[in-house]
Structure 1
Amino acid sequence: MSASTHVRFVLVGTQHPGNIGAAARAMKTMGLARLVLVAPEKPLDEVAFRRSAGAEDVLGDAPVYATLAEAVADCRLVLGCTARSRRVQLEELLPELAGQRAVAKAGEEGAEVAFVFGRERTGLTNEELQLCHLAVHIPSDPEFSSLNLAAAVQVMAYEVRMAVLAGQVQAPAETGFGEAPASHAQLEGLFGQLGDTLDQIDFHKGRSPESAMRKLRRLFMKAEMSEQEVRLLRGILADAQRMARLAGEKPN
């Protein structure tokens, strides 16, 4: 089975159904079939299916989720396609390297990979980018940098196909000495508990917690932790939370 079967293209908040159809066509021309929709503004219509031009199966099979977190919960690698620099600081890749990294990761046993594309006018929000491990930037002409959604999908689908054809699937990296890598949902659970713990121990001392959490998210995502490592960290956090509660209950 090709690594590309473990790569999904996620469209978030798409405003025009026709763009979804065109994206489905772009994917199918490159041998990709896993289209996922997150909270599209309008349901699929006749225009969407007409613009899919032979990729009606890709369009018809696309699941719809309410949130991006749900759509990528089982993924080990999430790449957010963004046109400009944001406050969320992610390692940024050019399309060719992004395709290679995606296919390499998808070649690992049980690994799922997602490319995420935002709204036509505004792209991905900072909150949505925080759910991504890496950013992908298509270096278009800065004097006319607006790239159509389907065109962006076509570029990334092409790079994924080229990586597959070139046989650039690398041997799976050892994670935790053969332990299963943590899923996206497991990492998000860790980040939620970490944020709660830092609040309970008054780590931020009145400062805004967003900056610290962004840096901690990057740190842990780079580590590519296993399920066991995430459980270990969550156990440590649970003990820290328990101690914080006990300290708060002590009489003055």
Structure 2
Amino acid sequence: MTPQESSEPAPDPLAVFARTRFIMVRPSHPGNVGSAARALKTMGFDGLHLVAPRDPAVAHHPEAVALASGAGDLLETAQIHASLAEALAPATLSFALTARPRALGPQVCDIREAAERSAQALANPRHRVALVVGTERSGLSNDELGLCQYACHIPANPAYSSLNVAQALQLCAWELRYALLPLTGQARLPDTHGRHDPGGDPADSAQVAALLEHLEQAMQATGFLDPDHPKKLVPRMRQLWIRAQPSVDEVDMLRGLCTAMIRSRARHTDTSSA
């Protein structure tokens, strides 16, 4: 059977996102769960997992729905687990977020290292990655931390490292997305998909010359330029705009400004004459 005749579907490059889960342990504030859903969806992830949430129906809580801001589908599909061990069961690599140094526990890394390690692991389709955050009040317990391979830190201001759990998940999701994009073939910058904006084309010499003539008229109308004593103002202005290489839209904008200046001066003159 040739490759073209193969019945097996081509691998989905975005599956690396689906093989990443974000676990919130004992979340107590519905707004944080909603904000976390929004943060994850913004970065292309959909694996939101909740361990023993205070409100088992948090996905329908008005505050969670409001702060999800369009990511209600992630709330609806969020999986609820009785324990962290259950939520971590499929993971082959896991990171526990903590702001405190621990005397005992797993290896330590920062979030950027965690993202790089995750990308290396997820290049293999057999791997699953989990990132775990604890409660607002007390974070993760030592026992919960011990279930993960790494204790992960966000290098925040040591004098004030207080990060809301949803904010922490946003930072983690961004770092993971940035690290995973090379595996997906997606661009890191917005793509115009080949659409051409003619207004962004460089103005030609005739358009720039017309602008300079119009600008000279506006400067005379406002009294900024004395035609009897121009000095070097006009050639300097010409050098400025030639060097700037304005676009078609920019030339049109500046000519509109010149027209407004001339009209304003004419109205002022008519009012003064009256």
Provide TM-score, normalisation by structure 2.
0.59
Q: Distance in 2 between matches of 1:103 and 1:22?
A: 25
In structure 2, the partner of 1:86 is 102
Match of 1:127 among 123, 134, 143: 143
Query: What is the CA distance between 1:4 and its match in structure 2?
Result: 1.6
The answer to whether 1:159 aligns with 2:172 is no
How far did residue 148 of structure 1 move?
0.6
The equivalent residue for 2:115 is 99
Cα deviation, 1:150-189, whole Å, max 9, x if unaligned, reads 11000000011101123499xxxxxxxxxxxxxxxxxxxx
Runs of 4+ that moved beyond 6 A: none
Offset of residue 144 of structure 1: 1.1
Q: Note the C-alpha offset of 1:14.
A: 0.8
Determine the structure 1 residue equivalent to 2:40: 27
Aligned identity (percent) is 42
**1:198-238 C-alpha deviation (Å, 9 max, x unpaired):** xxxxxxxxxxxxxxxxxxxxxxxxxxxxxxxxxxxxxxxxx
The CA deviation at 1:82 is 0.5
Counterpart Cα distance in 1 of 2:51 and 2:104: 21
Equivalent residues in 2 for 1:217-228, closer than 5 Å: none
Q: CA deviation at 1:108?
A: 1.3
Report what 1:8 is aligned to.
21
- Uncovered stretches (5+) of structure 1, i.e. residues with no partner: 170-252
User: Of 33, 43, 62, which aligns to 2:78?
Assistant: 62
CA distance in 2, matches of 1:54, 1:109: 30
Q: Which has the higher contact order (CA 8 A, sep 6+)?
A: 1
In structure 2, distance between residues paired with 1:37 and 1:88: 26
Contact 1:12-1:68 within 8 A present in 2 as well: yes
Q: What is the root-mean-square deviation of aligned Cα atoms in Å?
A: 1.5
Cα shift at 1:94: 1.3
Residues 168, 104 of structure 1: alpha-carbon distance in 2 compared, 3 angstrom cutoff: farther
Task: Kindly indicate whether the alpha-carbon contact (under 8 Å) linking 1:95 and 1:138 is maintained by their aligned counterparts in 2.
Answer: yes
The aligned length equals 169
Deviation at 1:87, TM superposition (A): 3.6
Find the partner of 1:18 among 3, 12, 31: 31
Give the SS at the match of 2:159.
helix
Q: Which letter does structure 1 place at the counterpart of 2:78?
A: A
Q: 1:64: how far off?
A: 0.3
SS of the residue 1:166 aligns to: helix
Q: Secondary structure at the match of 2:127?
A: coil
Shift of 1:88: 2.9
Contact kept? 2:123, 2:183, Cα under 8 Å: no
Could you tell me which residue of structure 2 aligns to residue 41 of structure 1?
Answer: 54
CA contact (8 A) 1:87 1:126 kept: no
Larger mean Cα displacement after TM superposition, 160-169 or 150-159: 160-169
The question of whether the paired residues in 2 share the 8 Å contact of 1:104 and 1:168 is answered with no
Mapped to 2, the partners of 1:46 and 1:128 lie a distance apart of 30
Tell me the distance in 1 between the aligned counterparts of 2:184 and 2:93.
17
Opposite residue 18 of structure 1, the aligned amino acid is G
**Could you tell me which amino acid in structure 1 is paired with residue 172 of structure 2?**
M
Shift of 1:114: 0.4
Aligned equivalents of 1:113 and 1:17: distance in 2?
25
| Structure showing greater Rg | 2
Distance 2:135 2:46 in 1: 21
Tell me the residue number matched to 1:208. none
Maintained 8 Å contact 1:103/1:168: no
